[in-house]
Structure 1
Amino acid sequence: MYTQTFTYNNIPKNHSMIKQSCWMLALLAIGTVQAQNKQAEKFAKTIQASELKEKLTIVAGDEMEGRETATEGQRKAALYIEEHFKTIGLLPGNKGSYQMHYPVYQDVLHSATASLYNLPFNLN
């Protein structure tokens, strides 16, 4: 029978190297988060309440017809946002398009009735 013994002389017995590595990784992660926060703060300072109100007033306005999915109002709002993206230089992310098209199914209730104590009610 053949046996082979491996010895690991490089591993410290008190695991201080592992602890140091964990601390270094934690500090690196904190530094990365702080750098991201600084960049977010930089861009957050460019947001003006008046500009935000102007754009939200347009998107929420009557001409957008409520923006319900698969309606003309939703398409108008999407085009408005797409044009804004183009204006500020954002590149499309969906194979050259700013929008993603997908099928939408809509149920419609044509009529309904109910009764209470044998008295019919028309719900249309």
Structure 2
Amino acid sequence: MIELHYIDDALLVVEKPAGLLSVPGRLPENQDCLVVRLQASFPDVLTVHRLDQVTSGLMLYARGRQVQAALSMQFEQRRVHKCYEALVEGGGRGRGGRDHPAADLRLAEPAQADGGP
């Protein structure tokens, strides 16, 4: 089941589960994807961006070509802020046997609504 987070006449925001393609693949067995599933209920939905198959997260979809063009331009011009977060459980052993606890990871803090860290 695909979780819908936001919908209006111009946009859909949905949660893509890990393991599902964002758009159809080249091979016949890779046609099941998020956009095809969404188009079954919302025929006007068009892809604006993609996430890797193994990645879960929120995706923005346009409803119509004009909105798709406008949003695609914003992504192209890097005017869209993206935030990636990772959940890390436990520690692991890296190459050479060195321990890499989660505390050693250096991740940027998510930006606040006012643009500050």
Structure with the larger helix share: 1
**Higher relative contact order (Cα pairs below 8 Å, separated by 6+ residues):** 2
Output the TM-score relative to the length of structure 2.
0.21
- The structure number with the bigger radius of gyration is 1
Structure with the larger strand share: 2
